């Protein structure tokens, strides 16, 4: 990816409380992430992530496909917001809507998602949030984890950029497991974004390799 801006300009999509956005902003403040959040977009007008963005004076957008007469109009608006902000990397941080294929194609290899399991296990349509941890416990796994991956046109199927294992304890509940996994999410999301910020990504087929220097 040829970089035009330093710090890396990232636009964040989220549907919920926004703890991953908070972790990203914390790492930007402490200097471990060389990025600037230039836009926060949510499909939920009352999402906590929008409050966080407003507090940090980051432009916010409440956009949902139901507000548009067609997918094409919705898509055009998404692209207008993203390109208008000169977005270099799109970050999905708990975004519950499927990104239109045209937007995914526009940001090919420049769109990341975080999933609270070790993909390809426990991923795909319907496996999000609490449901993921319930399925992991139901299956009897001893290890779960987090995956940051490139977004392609299907759910959770893009090549992994970074993964981190998280132990499953005998007395875990979906909530206790979710909390432990979330700590790992907050740690590796910023590290994965930093690889893009430093141009240290090399893609070979489905292998996303982190090079020593950009």
Would you say 49 or 82 has its CB closer to ligand GRF? 49
First vs last Cα of the chain: how many Å apart? 10
Per the annotation, the verdict on 149 as an active-site residue is no
| Cis amide leading into 201 (omega within 30) | no
Would you say 7 or 16 has its CB closer to ligand GRF? 16
DSSP output for 143-188: EEEEEEEE--SSTT-SPEEEEEEEEPPTT--HHHHHHHHHHHHHHH
Rounded to whole angstroms, the Cα distance separating 20 from 166 reads: 17
Residues 20-59 binding ligand GRF (CB under 6 A) are 20
Tokens 């692209």 sit on residue: 79
CB of 25 to ligand GRF, least distance (A): 12
Instruction: Point out the residue whose Cβ comes nearest to ligand GRF.
Output: 94
Among 8, 12, 14, 90, binds ligand GRF (CB under 6 A): 14
CB of 143 to ligand GRF, least distance (A): 17
Would you say 22 or 76 has its CB closer to ligand GRF? 22
**What 3-state class would DSSP assign to 202?**
strand
Rounded to whole angstroms, the Cα distance separating 144 from 69 reads: 41
Sequence-distant (≥ 6) Cβ neighbours of residue 181 within 8 angstroms: 116, 117, 133, 144, 145, 146, 166
Rounded to whole angstroms, the Cα distance separating 193 from 24 reads: 9
Among 129, 159, 160, 174, binds ligand GRF (CB under 6 A): 129
**Piece in contact with ligand GRF (CB under 6 A), picked from 11-19, 70-78, 136-144, 198-206:** 11-19
Would you say 183 or 209 has its CB closer to ligand GRF? 183
Pull the structure tokens for residue 71. Answer: 């997918």
Q: Are 181 and 133 in contact (CB under 8 A)?
A: yes
Name residue 114's beta-bridge partners: 148
115, 133, 149, 186: the catalytic one is 115
Would you say 165 or 209 has its CB closer to ligand GRF? 165
Among 3, 17, 77, 164, binds ligand GRF (CB under 6 A): 17
Residues 154-193 binding ligand GRF (CB under 6 A) are 182, 185
Instruction: Report the catalytic residues.
Output: 115
Residues that bind ligand GRF (CB under 6 A): 14, 16-20, 93-94, 114-116, 129, 182, 185
């Amino acid at each position: 990816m040829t970089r035009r801006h330093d710090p890396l300009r990232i636009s964040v999509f989220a549907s919920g409380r926004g703890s991953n956005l908070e972790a990203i902003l914390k790492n930007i403040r402490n200097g471990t992430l060389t990025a600037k959040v230039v836009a926060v977009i949510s499909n939920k007008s009352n999402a906590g992530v929008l409050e966080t963005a407003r507090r940090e004076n980051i432009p916010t957008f409440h956009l949902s496909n139901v507000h548009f007469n067609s997918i094409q109009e919705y898509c055009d608006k998404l692209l207008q917001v993203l390109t208008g902000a000169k977005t270099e990397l799109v970050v999905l941080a708990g975004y519950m809507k499927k990104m239109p294929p045209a937007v995914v194609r526009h940001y090919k290899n420049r769109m990341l998602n975080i999933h609270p399991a070790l993909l390809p296990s426990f991923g795909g349509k319907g496996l999000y949030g609490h449901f993921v941890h319930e399925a992991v416990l139901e299956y009897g796994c001893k290890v779960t984890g987090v995956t940051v991956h490139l977004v392609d046109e299907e759910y959770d199927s893009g090549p992994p950029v970074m993964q981190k294992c998280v132990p499953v304890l005998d007395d875990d509940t979906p909530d206790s497991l979710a909390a432990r996994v979330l700590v790992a999410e907050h740690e590796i999301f910023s590290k994965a974004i930093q690889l893009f910020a430093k141009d240290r990504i090399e893609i070979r087929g489905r292998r996303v390799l982190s090079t020593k220097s950009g």
